[in-house]
Amino acid sequence: MSDKKINKWLLERYILVELPEHQIKEIDRQLNQDPVLRKKLEQLRNSNREILDQYPPASVVPQILNRYKAETFNKTKTQAEETGTSAKSVFFKRLLYVTPAFAAALLLIFFIIPFYRNYVAPGKTTPVTESTGTRIKGASPQNLMIYRKSNDQIELLKNGTQAKAGDLLQVAYAAAEAVHGVILSIDGNGVVTLHFPEQVKGSTRLNKKKKKILLQNAYELDDAPGFERFFFITSKSKIDVQQVIKKARTLAKDTERARTHNIDLGGSFRQVSILIIKGGK
C-alpha cells in the first residue's frame, strides 16, 4: 500500500479500527514516516472532534433516543390495540431497529466517543483522555459482545453481570472461523427473542469483513424477572433459524436450565452465551 492509496475513507476506517490488521500496521508504518499523512490524519480527527463539540452527545443522543422511542411506542400502540395486548409490554420486548438518526446515535454512544476520548496517537504511550470522558471497561476479544451505556461509561458486560429494566444494550459479534450464525436471547419469562438475523427467513451468513460487527438494532431490557441470556450459535453451513428458535423455546420452558444449559442443537454447532442477571440498581 502506498500513501497515495491512503485516502480519507481509509483514514476514517483506520480511526475506527475497522481495517484488517495488516492494513492498520502498514498505515502505522507510513504515519511514522510521513508528516503529511500525519497532518491529514490529525485534520480528520480535529474535524470529527468539532462535530462532537457542535452536537454534544450528552444532549443530542437522549433527544434522538426519546424521539425514536416515542415513535416506536405510537406504532406499537396501534399494533397492541389490534391484538388486544398491552402497548407497554409489547414495546419493552421490541428491538429498537436502526433508523439513520438512531444509527448515528448508537455509533456515538458505543464507538466514536469512547475511541476519540481514549485515542493513543502514533508514537505515544499515554492515552489522550478527558476527565469526564467515556471509557470502555472490560474489553477483551470474544465471539459475542454485549455493551451497555451506563452514565459516562461504555461497559462490555461479562457473564453474570447485573442489569435492570430500561438498560440499553448493544450486541456485537466476531465471526472468527464461523460462516453462519444466529443470535438470540431467552429471558426469565421464557420468551425467546431473535437478534440476528432480523427475521426468521433472513440470511444467517456472518459478516467477516470486520473484526467486530455491530448488530443493526439495540435492545432495551424489559422487566422480565431473573435474567436475560444471549446465545451466539455458529456453524460452517447455513442454519435453519426456525429450528434453532424451536429448540430455544424448548429450553426456555425450564427457566433454571435456560440459565445454565446450551440449546440442544447437536454437535455440528458451536454455542457461546452471556448471562445477564436482572434486578441490578
Minimal CA–CA distance to 187: which of 213, 212, 203, 169? Answer: 169
| Residue 237: all three cell numbers together | 453451513
Minimal CA–CA distance to 163: which of 214, 74, 85, 230? Answer: 230
- What pLDDT is recorded for position 67? 57
- What pLDDT is recorded for position 1? 52
- What pLDDT is recorded for position 233? 94
- What pLDDT is recorded for position 17? 64
Minimal CA–CA distance to 206: which of 185, 229, 236, 244? Answer: 236
pLDDT tens figures, 224-244: 788 999 999 999 999 999 999
Tell me the pLDDT band of 203, cut-offs 50, 70 and 90.
very high
Q: What is the pTM of this model?
A: 0.59
pLDDT tens figures, 22-55: 888 888 889 888 999 988 888 887 776 665 565 5
pLDDT tens figures, 138-172: 443 348 988 887 665 667 888 999 988 878 888 88
Under 8 Å between Cβ of 278 and 228? yes
Tell me the pLDDT band of 64, cut-offs 50, 70 and 90.
low
Under 8 Å between Cβ of 31 and 91? no
Phi/psi at 232 (nearest 5 deg)? -120, 105
